[in-house]
A and B are shown apart, each in its own frame.
Chain A
Amino acid sequence: MGQIVFDRPKALSDVQLTYCPGCTHGIVHRLIAQVIDELEIEGRTVGIAPVGCSVFAYNFFDCDMIQAPHGRAPAVATGVKRAHPNNVLFTYQGDGDLAAIGTAETVHVGARGENITTIFINNAIYGMTGGQMAPTTLYKQVTMTTPYGREKNIQGSPIKVCEMLATLDGTAYAERVAVDCVKNVNATKKAIKKAFQIQMAGKGYSIVEVLSACPTEWGKSPVEALEWIRTDMMPFYPLGIYKDVTEG
């Protein structure tokens, strides 16, 4: 008889995900759920869903969930955490949600050093609304609203979120990872686990930026999209730990 070597994490709901083929949201969801299982914190975890493709995240995790207005997940999480300091809070946010409409909330949740964790999906594009320019869209990247490519003197510069948040005293942990290959997926899980542990230790705000693929809006095959993370995103958004208060 066979032995079960791979199963759905308990913290991941037994429902069909709504994501496109080749989208990496599913991988990141699974990693978060695995971390929640391993830390045995599902009962005290509250997740905050954003506006964007991952708006339905409230259906995908088995912990208590709250759906926040666009960009406001850090403020909503702050309200929960301040009322229930023993809860473990995570916000799941895309690049438009976190780095455009919610920039003030993003900066100030770090400035306050709130003990919450943000999982930041950076795929350099607005997925749900059909492929518009994101605050993290690369120079020359073609999107629905940059049909001639993003130009610095017209649309401005992409925001390097981890680098920016690392400057804040209240940010305890900021790491950029990617889910383009098995090695990096494993590293992403490790980063998410560390971010949750730093929150649980009360050390301050933690964020994991995940370079992610959006084959649909990038107009690429899933395999090409993963390759594009490596060839185009990583040079501009280098992987690595930008802040870690637990290190020396």
Chain B
Amino acid sequence: MGKVLMKGNEAVAEAGIRCGCRHYFGYPITPQNEISAYMAKNMPKVGGLCLQAESEIAAINMVLGAAASGVRAMTSSSSPGISLKSEGLSYIAGCDLPCLVVNVQRGGPGLGGIQAAQSDYYQATKAMGHGDLRLLVYSPSTIQEIVTLTSKSFDTSEKYRVPAMILTDGVIGQMMEAVDFDEMVISTPADKSWASCGHGDQRKKNIINSLYIEPEKLEAVVVARFKRYAEIEKNEVMFEEYMTDDAELIIVSYGITARICKSAVNLARKQNVKVGLFRPISLWPYPSDALLNLAKKDITKHFLVSELNMGQMVDDVKVSTHCLKPVSFYGRTGGMLPAPEEILAEIKKILGGKA
């Protein structure tokens, strides 16, 4: 196929189809509508289904049903719609079902705005529905990376039976970039002998359920699930380091903001300011150990968190680095984006006379 020019929203849809997903359930919301449009046009060509549900709530429950029956299923939405999906995601997590949810974030809270934001970081990484639960959360910063992370999401989600989210934003969703689908690693879906799709008189019945009325049983199930979470934290951490070797200040940033910060790092380096970028790709599991290693280095003097919200990741960086070095924050919110020069100015302010 070679390189094609595509919007992020279209790329995640195409990647989903290439991963063998044949069941997409959506509900319109800006700025992710290109995903449903692409699915509606292209799913029928491969014998797949793009179904517009009556609400985000119905869409995520259709995903629950399809996933429970053993097929690769996905949905997408943007921030207010993701809030509506949180109930279903809690059930999906409680039923140990794999699936993919794409959140093309916009400004909040409430109806907020329709421009890009990263203000669902807390929701995605800490509170995606009620109960003790985790989602795999991936943050792409290029459209090529959306494609690789789509396949990663399905694979990891099925391997551990944990729902996955691609946490992206209105910029990545809407902008066009060259993308090469030949770079995708397409895997074979995992064994799903647990699925409820008719026992065919061949086995005992399967039950997909999140209810355990006896507290002892519920605790045991949750604890067992957290053992899988621990495995994920051990095996599935993803991050990128850029010019961190000799960096005095390390920017910690993800998604679209990390790209802006990379430009800021390049600007700083031209002025001989020793800045690096640490980019978490998996927001859960969070790359805490790698950050701690950086914090332990003598050369590292300061961390600067930058994201499109009011500082939702700051605590994760502080906890990861054991507060060994100061952690500052610079961000924009509500759909506003920082320019690389703004980040550079912040860097200089922090490094003071040294820059």
Question: Hey, which bits of chain A sit against chain B, CB under 8 A?
Answer: 42-46, 48-49, 55-56, 58-59, 61-69, 72, 75-84, 86-87, 104-105, 107-108, 111
Contact of A43 among B49, B95, B199, B206 (CB under 8 A): B199
Given contacts A65-B196, A67-B210, contact A75 B205 (CB under 8 A): no
Q: Are A66 and B73 in contact (CB under 8 A)?
A: no
With contacts A69-B87, A105-B61 taken as known, whether A80 is within 8 angstroms of B199 at the C-beta atoms is no
Q: What are 22 sample pairs from A and B whose C-beta atoms fall under 8 A apart? A: A42-B201, A56-B211, A63-B198, A64-B196, A64-B207, A66-B208, A67-B95, A67-B211, A68-B91, A72-B88, A75-B62, A76-B61, A76-B68, A78-B58, A78-B65, A79-B61, A80-B65, A80-B196, A83-B71, A84-B197, A86-B198, A107-B54
A64 closest partner in B (C-beta): B196
B69 an interface residue at 8 Å Cβ cutoff? yes
B207 touches A67 (CB 8 A): yes
Given A79-B23, A79-B68: A46 touches B198 (CB 8 Å cut-off): yes
Our count of residue pairs bridging A and B at CB distance below 8 angstroms stands at 139
List B109-155 residues whose CB lies under 8 Å from chain A.
none
Name the 4 nearest CB pairs between A and B, nearest first: A79-B65, A75-B61, A79-B66, A76-B65
- Given A69-B87, A79-B65, A79-B69, A64-B198 contact (CB < 8 Å): yes
Residue contact B62 to A65, C-beta cutoff 8 Å: no
Is B196's CB under 8 angstroms from A66's CB? yes
Determine whether the beta carbon of B69 is less than 8 Å from that of A83: yes
Alpha-carbon gap, A47 to B67, bound state (A): 15
Residue among B23, B54, B73, B201 facing the most chain A CB atoms (10 A cut-off): B54
Is B243 an interface position by the 8 A CB rule? Answer: no
> Which A residues are in CB contact (< 8 Å) with B71?
83
CB of B200 within 8 Å of the partner chain: yes
**Interchain CB contact under 8 A, A104 and B54:** yes
Name the distance in Å between A186's Cβ and chain B's nearest Cβ.
28
Q: Does B25 contact A (CB under 8 A)?
A: yes
CA distance A140 to B135 in the complex (A): 47
Task: Please tell me if B55 contacts chain A, counting CB pairs below 8 Å.
Answer: yes
Within 8 A of A (CB), among B62-78: 62-71, 73
Chain B residues near A81: list those with CB within 8 A: 65
B198 touches A45 (CB 8 A): yes
Given contacts A66-B65, A69-B87, A79-B68, 8 further A-B pairs with CB under 8 A are A46-B197, A64-B199, A66-B208, A69-B88, A76-B68, A80-B197, A83-B197, A111-B54
With A69-B88, A69-B91, A84-B198 already in contact, the answer to whether A77 and B65 are too (CB < 8 A) is yes
